[in-house]
């Protein structure tokens, strides 16, 4: 008995082509002088998948159709001198087609052996995506009306360096040897006939004849040689919380705010609403306040509204929702539309709104200001906040101006605006 | 920059989101591969992981993501992914596989408003009951719930260590509002994160992949090991990792799976209990902040209200019943607060019919407010 086997009797029906695949795989591994513990055999659901108990290699038996992805994960983690062999049927290749294409695209170092007997044998002989036109199954008794996928062409198109189709007759270990020797993704499609189901429904069928009639021509498809997938070297990247990666603030101002202040800033995408809100928060933090900030925008982030919600608080913020804001800043029609109902619902607080817009009926104190005209679209959001801090006692204008001056937007905020706000 | 008493440089306050802390903490704890598939509101974690993790793998779909993770875990890596319900739904069969193969990994589940694609940018606490029944047969997968920003730093290493110690997938449960909201955060609060400790089989005898130790967990060896054959299977199997229909040994192996999780998952919760309390508020996850605020407001009114913040959500802790019984036996009200309409945590503990005295306050589309909890307590 081969050192690759712990049991010589494969668990297949008499005459099943799976016997030949298992025998030839062993021959190929022997010819390549692999050690059993250098090989991981990953098997799929289906008759081919119950052979793992015969093998002395590492064995992993997963889900239906997922063995190629599972084997890919294993191969990604193992050094290249380990051999990952995936056994899968035509049904598994159908349900797991995406995994085959992806493994080929990434050139993962696996060798996939597709046991293509053109039907689901374990569940009673139903047709798969690899069942050829005219092939009779228990479901397609008049013959399958559809053409089959060409799995070799598919993985070839996806970038596989090696794909090969063979008839599962006799000694085809040389083909498997070639595939196993490939550095990267290789696939061998072995055509077989299921003795239990295919021959029952197609009594006079011969494998060679079927392959010819169905256009299942044996062949080899080789692709451009390229490096096999390699997981990165395991080196960690720079910490996400080091001072260089987060903007840290030291408290150097004081805030008159004694409790909690909530603000909504509604503008348009690309007009700096989120950045302006962050700067307000940083100024608040530099003034000894706690703060939260969250953004809201449509899934198409480049157009439409851009709303920021900010809470500033003397005490730690346990709950960061805003039931009714103390202040709403509206700098554009997008921002107004998105916050219309919220402004309508306000019973108190203040709404600062650009003079080009009309606020809804509201219980809030409405303050019309010229944000866009004075500061332009790009600076309207930050200018609205400068206006707000000048008219309230949340933080000092100097705190916000200081943060703006040190920020990346300093270069395009007109000095005149900052000076006015400071006075 | 000054120095603190332990010699570390004094840090300032920074504006951070939960995604940043979760990602950094997982990396420090020893997670070494992030398998990503973009989905709102978990994509921020994917982005951070790409800047931080030793290996990043963009998967073509969530089924592939979980299968790659399983393969990596089988070969000795500690993989992580983050997703939301639609992604978790696709991962679920593979999570079942990882449970059966006993593969360590962490899935950060960032909840968003369902059903279906729901509202991708609205937070929620919609998925606890799904997680409770995620594994066929009701076998528990540890679920740890992030209750506040500090948990974003402290819980990921616990999740990873639990995954390693129990050889199981672990879900770190959070919500859009925790991972996407930026907060002022005192960076001095970041404690040391130690890499998880990991033991592998070092016995002299032939390795049997599913022969458990006294804690009910089989010592790990990766596939590809040079000295021992390693077998893994998703099917009912014996201690050698070979498929068996229903032998005593194989069924005993399956029975072991829930037992190890129930015995080994760390019991994490926070209980604030004044003397002579008048009611108990029970919560978890994103509603914890509102519940704390509500209890503070009620205490300011002179009411004595207890607060239970559950972090270990699955398996259900016996301690929760012990605490709840103290109130129910004295006919004191117990109010569950969570951001869904079904009262999922309450139903996990009590089923569809809540005991007399147990009430629920929930919402969808918005976080549960402190006012809503206060009203329910006062009712």
Is A252 touching B (CB cutoff 8 A)?
no
Same domain? A189 vs A67: yes
> B331 to chain A, minimum CA–CA distance in Å?
29
Question: What is Dmax (Cα atoms) for chain B?
Answer: 68
pLDDT at B138: 96
Same domain? A210 vs A315: no
A138 three-class SS: coil
Is B322 touching A (CB cutoff 8 A)?
no
Residues ≥6 apart with Cβ < 8 Å to B267: B312, B317, B319
Radius of gyration (C-alpha) of chain A in whole angstroms: 34
Same domain? A178 vs A42: yes
Same domain? A198 vs A280: no
| Segment A155-163 mean pLDDT | 98
Tens digit of each residue's pLDDT (9 = 90 or more) over A23-77: 999 999 999 999 999 999 999 999 999 999 999 999 999 999 999 999 999 999 9
Query: CB distance A77–B75 less than 8 Å?
Result: yes
User: A235: which chain B residues are within 8 Å (Cβ-Cβ)?
Assistant: 54
For the ranges A205-214, A297-306, B208-217, the one whose mean pLDDT is highest: B208-217
Q: Does the structure show a pLDDT above 60 at B94?
A: yes
Report helix, strand and coil shares of chain A as percent, to nearest 5: 35, 20, 45
* Two structure tokens written together for A232: 């990165």
Half-sphere exposure in the Cβ direction for A38 (13 Å, CA): 13
Burial of A348 (0-12, 13-18, 19+ CB in 10 A): exposed
B96 three-class SS: helix
Query: CB distance B71–A289 less than 8 Å?
Result: no
Q: What's chain A's length in residues?
A: 423
What is the Cα B28 distance to its own chain's centre?
18
User: Beta-carbon neighbour count of residue B203 at 10 Å?
Assistant: 11
Percentage of chain B with pLDDT > 70? 98
Q: Report the alpha-carbon distance of residue B139 to residue B314 in Å, rounded.
A: 10
pLDDT-derived band at B4 (thresholds 50, 70, 90) equals: low
Residues ≥6 apart with Cβ < 8 Å to B367: A319, A320, A321, B123, B177, B286, B287, B289, B290, B339
* Two structure tokens written together for A277: 């809100």
Q: In chain A, whose CA is at the least distance from the CA of B92?
A: A63
Q: Report the alpha-carbon distance of residue B199 to residue B167 in Å, rounded.
A: 11
Residue of A321, A341, A395, A406 to mutate for B, most B C-beta atoms under 10 A: A321
Half-sphere exposure in the Cβ direction for B74 (13 Å, CA): 39
pLDDT at A423: 77
Q: Does the structure show a pLDDT above 50 at A255?
A: yes
Query: CB distance B53–A237 less than 8 Å?
Result: yes
Same domain? A215 vs A156: yes
Q: Identify whether B315 is preceded by a cis peptide bond (ω within 30 of 0).
A: yes
Q: Is residue A367 part of a domain?
A: yes
Same domain? A271 vs A203: no
* Pairing of β B312-314 and β B143-145: antiparallel
DSSP A420: H
| Segment B252-278 mean pLDDT | 98
Residues ≥6 apart with Cβ < 8 Å to A187: A100, A104, A111, A112, A113, A114, A151, A152, A155, A160, A162, A163, A164, A179
Same domain? A84 vs A189: yes
- Beta-bridge partner residues of B22: none
Q: Rounded to the nearest 10 degrees, how much is the dihedral formed by the CA atoms of B182, B183, B188, B194?
A: -50
Q: Report the alpha-carbon distance of residue A294 to residue A314 in Å, rounded.
A: 19
A153-157, A236-240, A261-265 — which is least confidently predicted?
A236-240
Helical segments of A346-407, H only: 371-391, 397-405
Q: Report the alpha-carbon distance of residue B245 to residue B237 in Å, rounded.
A: 8
Q: Report the alpha-carbon distance of residue B192 to residue B185 in Å, rounded.
A: 16
- Beta-bridge partner residues of B312: B144
CB-closest option in B67, B234, B235 to A69:
B67
| Segment A203-231 mean pLDDT | 93
Q: Is residue A239 part of a domain?
A: no
Same domain? A177 vs A80: yes
Q: What's chain B's length in residues?
A: 379
Q: Residue A273: in which H helix or E strand, if any?
A: helix A273-286
Same domain? A60 vs A204: yes
pLDDT at B1: 44
Is B56 touching A (CB cutoff 8 A)?
yes
CB within 8 Å of chain A, chain B residues 170-229? 177, 180-184, 187, 190, 222-229
Q: Residue A173: in which H helix or E strand, if any?
A: helix A173-181
| Segment A134-138 mean pLDDT | 94
Closest by Cα among A311, A335, A306, A313 to A321: A311
- Span(s) in chain B for CATH 3.40.50.970: 12-266
Same domain? A198 vs A308: no
Q: Is residue A157 part of a domain?
A: yes
* Two structure tokens written together for A180: 């196993």
Is B121 touching A (CB cutoff 8 A)?
yes
Number of separate domains in chain A: 2
What is the Cα A311 distance to its own chain's centre?
33
Q: Is residue A208 part of a domain?
A: yes
Q: In chain A, whose CA is at the least distance from the CA of B65?
A: A69
For the ranges A191-205, A243-257, B122-136, the one whose mean pLDDT is highest: B122-136
pLDDT at B251: 98
Percentage of chain B with pLDDT > 90? 96
Same domain? A75 vs A202: yes
A77 three-class SS: helix
Same domain? A282 vs A180: no
Q: Report how many helices (DSSP H) and strands (DSSP E) chain A contains, helices first.
A: 13, 14
Q: Report the alpha-carbon distance of residue B86 to residue B95 in Å, rounded.
A: 14
Burial of A262 (0-12, 13-18, 19+ CB in 10 A): buried
Q: What is the pTM of this model?
A: 0.97
Reported in sequence order, the residue ranges of B124-179 that DSSP labels E, i.e. its strands, are 143-145, 169-175
Q: Does the structure show a pLDDT above 50 at A408?
A: yes
Is B33 touching A (CB cutoff 8 A)?
yes
CB-closest option in B71, B93, B94 to A72:
B71
pLDDT at A225: 86
Tens digit of each residue's pLDDT (9 = 90 or more) over B162-198: 999 999 999 999 999 999 999 999 999 999 999 999 9
Residues ≥6 apart with Cβ < 8 Å to B152: B18, B21, B22, B25, B146, B174, B178, B179
- B29 near B161, Cβ under 8 Å? yes
Rounded to 5 degrees, what are φ and ψ at A311? -120, 130
- Beta-bridge partner residues of B145: B173
Percentage of chain A with pLDDT > 90? 90
Tens digit of each residue's pLDDT (9 = 90 or more) over A344-364: 999 999 999 999 999 999 999
* Two structure tokens written together for B104: 């360590």
Residues ≥6 apart with Cβ < 8 Å to B337: B281, B282, B283, B287, B290, B291, B294, B360, B361, B362, B368, B372, B373, B376
pLDDT at B2: 55
Rounded to 5 degrees, what are φ and ψ at A205? -75, 135
Q: Report the alpha-carbon distance of residue A215 to residue A235 in Å, rounded.
A: 49
Q: Does the structure show a pLDDT above 60 at A340?
A: yes
End-to-end C-alpha distance for chain A, whole angstroms? 93
Tens digit of each residue's pLDDT (9 = 90 or more) over A266-320: 999 999 999 999 999 999 999 999 999 999 888 777 889 999 999 999 999 999 9
Is A345 touching B (CB cutoff 8 A)?
no
B236 three-class SS: coil
Q: Residue A71: in which H helix or E strand, if any?
A: helix A67-77
Q: Does the structure show a pLDDT above 80 at A234?
A: no
- Span(s) in chain B for CATH 3.40.50.920: 269-378
Domain containing A364 equals 260-422
Q: Report the alpha-carbon distance of residue B163 to residue B179 in Å, rounded.
A: 22
Closest by Cα among A171, A28, A189, A11 to A94: A189
User: B54: which chain A residues are within 8 Å (Cβ-Cβ)?
Assistant: 232-237
Buried-exposed string B133-160: b where 16+ CB fall within 10 A, e elsewhere: ebbeeebbbbbbbbbbbebbbbbbbbbb
User: What CATH number is given to the structural domain containing A153?
Assistant: 3.40.50.970
Q: Report how many helices (DSSP H) and strands (DSSP E) chain B contains, helices first.
A: 12, 16
What is the DSSP code string of B167-192?
Answer: TSEEEEEEEHHHHS-EEEEEGGG---
Rounded to 5 degrees, what are φ and ψ at A159? 115, 10
- B349 near B316, Cβ under 8 Å? yes
User: What CATH number is given to the structural domain containing A311?
Assistant: 3.40.920.10
Query: CB distance B231–A59 less than 8 Å?
Result: yes
User: Between 3.40.50.920, 3.40.50.300, 3.30.465.10, 1.20.1740.10, what CATH number should domain B269-378 receive?
Assistant: 3.40.50.920
* Pairing of β A248-249 and β B13-17: antiparallel
CB-closest option in A40, A241, A290 to B184:
A290
- The CATH number of the domain covering residues in B12-266: 3.40.50.970
CB within 8 Å of chain B, chain A residues 80-99? 82, 98-99
């Amino acid at each position: 008995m081969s050192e690759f086997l712990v049991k010589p009797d494969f668990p297949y029906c008499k005459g099943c082509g799976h016997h030949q695949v298992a025998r030839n795989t062993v021959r190929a591994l022997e010819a390549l002088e692999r050690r059993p513990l250098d090989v991981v055999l990953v098997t799929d659901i289906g008759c081919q998948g119950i052979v793992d108990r015969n093998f002395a290699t590492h064995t992993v038996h997963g889900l239906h159709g997922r063995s190629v992805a599972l084997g890919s994960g294993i191969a990604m983690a193992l050094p290249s001198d380990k051999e990952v062999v995936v056994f899968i049927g035509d049904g598994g290749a159908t349900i797991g087609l995406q995994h085959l294409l992806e493994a080929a695209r990434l050139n993962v170092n696996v060798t996939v052996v597709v046991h293509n007997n053109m039907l689901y044998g374990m569940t009673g002989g139903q047709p798969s995506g690899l069942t050829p036109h005219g092939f009779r199954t228990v479901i397609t008794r008049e013959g399958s009306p559809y053409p089959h996928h060409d799995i070799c062409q598919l993985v070839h198109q996806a970038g596989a360096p090696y794909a090969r189709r063979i008839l599962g007759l006799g000694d085809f270990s040389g083909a498997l040897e070639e595939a196993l020797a490939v550095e990267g993704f290789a696939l061998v499609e072995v055509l077989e006939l299921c003795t239990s189901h295919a021959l029952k429904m197609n009594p006079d069928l011969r494998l060679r004849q079927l392959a010819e009639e169905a256009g299942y021509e044996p062949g080899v498809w080789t692709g451009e040689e390229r490096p096999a997938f390699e997981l990165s070297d395991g080196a960690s990247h720079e910490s996400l919380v080091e001072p260089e990666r987060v903007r840290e603030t030291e408290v150097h101002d004081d805030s008159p705010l004694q409790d909690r202040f909530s603000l909504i800033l509604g503008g348009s995408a690309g007009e700096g609403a989120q950045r302006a809100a962050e700067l307000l928060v940083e100024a608040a933090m530099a003034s000894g306040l706690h703060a939260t900030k969250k953004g809201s925008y449509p899934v198409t982030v480049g157009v439409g509204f851009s709303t920021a919600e900010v809470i500033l608080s003397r005490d730690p913020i346990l709950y960061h929702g805003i039931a009714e804001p103390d202040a709403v800043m509206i700098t554009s029609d997008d921002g107004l539309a998105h916050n219309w109902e919220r402004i309508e619902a306000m019973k108190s607080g203040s709404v600062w709104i650009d003079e080009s817009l009309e606020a809804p009926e509201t219980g809030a104190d409405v303050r019309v200001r010229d944000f866009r005209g004075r500061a332009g679209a790009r600076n309207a959001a930050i200018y609205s906040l400068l206006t707000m801090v000048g008219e309230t006692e949340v933080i000092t204008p100097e705190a916000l101006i200081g943060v703006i001056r040190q920020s990346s937007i300093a270069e395009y905020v007109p000095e005149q605006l900052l000076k006015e706000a400071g006075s | 920059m000054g120095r603190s008493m332990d010699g570390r440089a004094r840090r300032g306050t920074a504006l951070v989101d939960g995604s940043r802390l979760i990602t950094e903490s997982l990396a420090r704890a020893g997670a070494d591969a992030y398998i990503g598939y973009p989905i709102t509101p978990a994509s921020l974690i994917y982005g951070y992981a790409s800047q931080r993790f030793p290996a990043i793998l963009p998967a073509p779909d969530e089924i592939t993501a979980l299968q790659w993770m399983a393969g990596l875990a089988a070969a000795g890596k500690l993989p992580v992914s983050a997703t939301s319900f639609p992604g978790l739904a696709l991962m679920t069969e593979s999570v079942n596989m990882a449970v059966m193969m006993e593969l360590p990994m962490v899935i950060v589940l960032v909840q968003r408003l369902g059903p279906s694609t729901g509202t991708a940018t609205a937070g929620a606490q919609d998925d606890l009951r799904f997680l409770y029944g995620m594994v066929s047969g009701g076998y528990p997968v540890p679920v740890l719930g992030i209750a506040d920003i500090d948990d974003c730093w402290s819980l990921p290493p616990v999740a990873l260590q639990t995954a390693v110690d129990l050889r199981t997938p672990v879900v770190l449960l959070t919500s859009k509002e925790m991972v996407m909201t930026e907060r002022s955060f005192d960076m001095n609060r970041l404690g040391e994160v130690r890499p998880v400790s990991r033991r592998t089989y070092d016995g002299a005898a032939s390795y049997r992949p599913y022969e458990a130790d006294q804690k009910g967990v089989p010592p790990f060896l990766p596939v590809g090991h040079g000295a021992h054959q390693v077998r893994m299977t998703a099917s009912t199997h014996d201690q050698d990792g070979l498929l068996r229909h229903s032998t005593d040994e194989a069924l005993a192996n399956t029975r072991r799976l829930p037992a190890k999780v129930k015995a080994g998952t760390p019991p994490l919760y926070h209980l604030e209990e004044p003397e002579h309390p008048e009611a108990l508020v029970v919560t978890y996850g994103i509603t914890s902040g509102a519940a704390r605020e509500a209890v503070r407001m009620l205490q300011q009114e002179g009411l004595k209200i207890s607060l239970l913040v559950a972090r270990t959500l699955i398996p259900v802790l016996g301690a929760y019943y012990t605490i709840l019984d103290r109130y129910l036996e004295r006919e004191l009200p117990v109010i569950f607060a969570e951001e869904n309409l079904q009262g999922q945590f309450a139903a996990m503990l009590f089923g569809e019919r809540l005991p007399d005295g147990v009430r629920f306050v929930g919402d969808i589309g918005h976080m549960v407010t402190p006012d809503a909890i206060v009203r329910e307590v006062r009712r």
